Amino acid sequence: MISLFLFAGLWAAADIHENDSLPKVRILDEIEIVGNRKSSNTLVLKTANFGGIGQIGGSVEGMVRSLSGVAGSDELSSQYSVRGGNFDENLLIINGFEVYRPQLARSGQQEGLSAINPDFVQFLKFSAGGFDASKGDKLSSVLDMTYRSRGTADLPLRKLRLGLFSGRAFNSINLDHEGPRGPVYASIALGLRYRSNAPFIRGGDVQGDLRSDAQDVQLFYESSSLRWNHEVLAIAQSSTFALRPSSRTTEFGTVTEVLRLNVYMQGLERYQYQNIFIGGRSRYRLDENQSIYLESSLVQALEQESMDVESAYLLGEVNNNLGSDNFGELSYLRGSGGHHRFARNDLWIRETQAKIGWTHESKSQRWDASIAYRQQDGIDRVHEWVNIDSAGYSLPHQPTEVILQGGDTLQNPKESLRLFQLTNSEGRLINGKLSGHILWEGSSESSSFTWRLGMRYIRDSRSAEQRLSPRISGRWRLSSDYAMELAAGSYAQTASIRELRDWKTGDFLGTARMQHAWHGIAALEREFESKGRPFFWRGEAYIKYLDRAFPFEQDGMRVRYLGDGPGVARVIGVDNRVHSEWLPGTESWASLSLFRAQERFDSPQWSDRGSDYRFSFSLRVEDALPGNLQDKVYMQINITGGFPFAAPLETNKDFRSPPYRRMDLGFQHEFGPRASLGLEVFNLLEIRNTASYFWIMDISTARQYAVPNYLTNRLLNLIFQYQL
CATH code for position 335: 2.40.170.20
Within a domain: residue 266? yes
- Are 123 and 46 spatial neighbours (Cβ–Cβ below 8 Å)? yes
Dihedral of CA atoms 475, 478, 482, 487 in degrees, nearest 10, equals -20
pLDDT in tens, 619-635: 998 888 887 888 889 89
Within a domain: residue 453? yes
- What 3-state DSSP class applies to 201? helix
The rounded percent of the chain whose pLDDT value lies above 90 is 50
Within a domain: residue 408? no
Q: How far apart are the first and last CA of the chain?
A: 24
Within a domain: residue 402? no
b/e map of 681-700 (b: 16 or more CB within 10 Å)?
bbbeeebbbbbbbbbbbbbe
The Cα angle at residue 473 between residues 293 and 570, in degrees rounded to 5: 110
In the prediction, which pLDDT does 290 show? 95
Q: Could you tell me the residue range of the domain that residue 594 belongs to?
A: 2-394+415-723
Within a domain: residue 407? no
Model confidence at 391: pLDDT above 80:
no
Q: How many CA atoms, within 13 angstroms, populate the side-chain half-sphere of residue 600? A: 10
Within a domain: residue 483? yes
Rounded CA separation 368/438 (Å): 6
Closest CA to 69 of 117, 136, 131: 131
- Across the chain, what does the average pLDDT equal? 85
Within 10 angstroms of residue 541's Cβ, the number of other Cβ atoms is: 13
pLDDT in tens, 432-463: 999 999 999 999 888 889 999 999 999 999 98
In the prediction, which pLDDT does 51 show? 55
Q: At 403, give phi and psi (nearest 5°).
A: -125, 125
In the prediction, which pLDDT does 12 show? 39
User: What's at 99, amino acid-wise?
Assistant: V
Within a domain: residue 317? yes
pLDDT in tens, 527-564: 998 888 889 999 999 999 999 999 998 888 888 888 88
pLDDT in tens, 316-343: 888 888 777 778 788 888 878 888 899 9
Q: What is the 3-state secondary structure (H, E, C) of 505-530?
A: CCCECCCCCCEEEEEEEEEEEEEEEE
Let me know if 375 is exposed, middle or buried by CB neighbors in 10 A (0-12, 13-18, 19+). middle
Model confidence at 584: pLDDT above 80:
no
Number of domains in the chain: 1
pLDDT in tens, 189-247: 999 999 998 888 887 888 899 999 999 999 999 999 999 999 999 999 999 999 999 99
Within a domain: residue 399? no
Mark out the alpha helices in 37-179 (DSSP H runs): 60-64, 108-111
Greater model confidence, 111 or 407: 111
Least confident of 125-134, 215-224, 460-469, 579-588: 579-588
Model confidence at 174: pLDDT above 50:
yes
Q: How many CA atoms, within 13 angstroms, populate the side-chain half-sphere of residue 83? A: 33
Within 10 angstroms of residue 2's Cβ, the number of other Cβ atoms is: 7
Helix/strand/coil percentages in the chain, nearest 5: 5, 60, 30
In the prediction, which pLDDT does 533 show? 86
Model confidence at 414: pLDDT above 80:
no
- What 3-state DSSP class applies to 349? strand
pLDDT in tens, 43-83: 887 665 565 677 776 778 888 999 999 998 888 888 999 99
Let me know if 193 is exposed, middle or buried by CB neighbors in 10 A (0-12, 13-18, 19+). buried
- What 3-state DSSP class applies to 6? helix
